[in-house]
Structure 1
């Protein structure tokens, strides 16, 4: 942080929608500590202090101090050279699921969707560029085409994510597309920014979204917006299903009315 004036605002992480923060209220060490935990992923499961430092912009010495602190607290383990996350990190996400009102509130309604469609139902929200599934109900038989609780996926590759992206104003949505070139996961993944733009505009106009074979060749998702009593979008109500059982139009005709009706019933409760 280069500014020292107490009334200067800072932009930690440049997170979209983050409220302004005064420099005097900013704790840089907390940001770095969280960034260190987020540096670990599928491609970086075990790292040295130097590798962690490179990923988050710290020297080896500074990164090692953060790692040793997290290790002392039980969130990181190490063998003297390599470091890795421990299951204790899951406490952070579990604390949200247990304390947030929305995931607990929607469970009976997700069950209603499951009963009405025989598919796995989800509540999801946007977190940066990713969709996060914060509540789930349904049979485990579709887990190969579904998401576990707390799972994340690139927003533009899921019905729920595309629907929530589509709620953004045109100018903001254009800026987002300009800075997020598509990542191809299947032969059906939308690779053209202009086509993705047209799809998002269409989803916004019809107020529901259909996504097929974007992230997984055997997966179809259908989503509707979940709005609060003031009309603001609080998340997406969606289902996933294997793609081979029925045609797209038949799947939509069978499940969309249930999703819409459930979302409408929930509107006055949020």
Structure 2
């Protein structure tokens, strides 16, 4: 079988990572990541376009995923199967943070009647590692594995505030900030100021920046040594809960929860 020609990006990565880097695995993960909430069913051509890989490579990857039970095919369309959750489950089951945080968020959510989440930084996004919500559903489908742009979310700003100035500046410089709502801040100087403010205040509040009609407040979750390992937040419908309530009612509860959890995290 002829060797598939590397894309310029793959060639650069190969030169940077060395011979131990497994290119086939990297391509396979890119194919899996092509699927999402708005891309549940994809053709081979769709996937090849989204991941910018040769059709031959994508065809073999999809064939392998189907044979392993991680994907299924219906006519010319592919989609992931529930078995793919085993990969996320491996992370969750091996992560002691989730074991500790999930029940704590469930208790807080029950007490205040609002959705509560924990997230970590992953590239340009934050990804939920724990989530709890009351019977009243939010307009967003926030759940474990849900992603939000770091710069446009309170969770992300708290996590970016924990970085050093150089790291935060590099993150902002490289970021592509999309105008998700009329309230989304896209000016990078303003975003840097928001991160500095989150560092000074010890919390961040984002009002309808990631999604219209939704606001959230977040605090850092730190280990006993003071290192930030995640962020905790409360998210609400903007029409139902005023900003004053976010600061005066939910912020103290979040801070108390973070302090309590810090003693359990090594």
Provide TM-score, normalisation by structure 1.
0.85
Q: Helix, strand or coil: the match of 2:42?
A: coil
Deviations 1:198-256 (A, max 9, x none): 11110111110111111222211011100001111010011111112343123210111
Equivalent positions of 1:246-261 (< 5 A) are 246-261=241-256
Task: Name 1:189's counterpart in structure 2.
Answer: 184
Q: Helix, strand or coil: the match of 2:127?
A: strand
Query: How far 1:146 sits from its partner (Å)?
Result: 6.4
List gaps (5 residues or longer) in structure 2.
1-11
Moved over 6 A (4+): none
Which of 142, 157, 161 pairs up with 2:152?
A: 157
Equivalent positions of 1:1-270 (< 5 A) are 23-79=18-74, 81-144=76-139, 147-270=142-265
Distance 1:263 1:69, change over 3 A: same
Whole-angstrom CA distance in 2 between matches of 1:41 and 1:243: 26
Contact 1:146 1:241 in 2 (8 A): no
Q: How many residues align?
A: 253
Whole-angstrom CA distance in 2 between matches of 1:214 and 1:72: 41
Whole-angstrom CA distance in 2 between matches of 1:46 and 1:120: 29
Whole-angstrom CA distance in 2 between matches of 1:57 and 1:259: 42
Distance 1:166 1:99, change over 3 A: same
Distance 1:121 1:42, change over 3 A: closer
Q: Please, which moves more after superposition, 184-193 or 103-112?
A: 103-112
Contact 1:181 1:193 in 2 (8 A): no
Distance 1:241 1:146, change over 3 A: farther
Contact 2:42 2:77 in 1 (8 A): yes
Q: Please, which moves more after superposition, 251-260 or 136-145?
A: 136-145
Contact 2:130 2:143 in 1 (8 A): no
Whole-angstrom CA distance in 2 between matches of 1:97 and 1:213: 29
Q: Helix, strand or coil: the match of 1:197?
A: helix
Task: Name 2:5's counterpart in structure 1.
Answer: none
Contact 1:130 1:161 in 2 (8 A): yes
Provide TM-score, normalisation by structure 2.
0.86
Q: Helix, strand or coil: the match of 2:177?
A: coil
Distance 1:245 1:67, change over 3 A: closer
Q: Helix, strand or coil: the match of 1:36?
A: helix
List gaps (5 residues or longer) in structure 1.
1-9, 15-20
* Cα RMSD after superposing both structures: 2.2
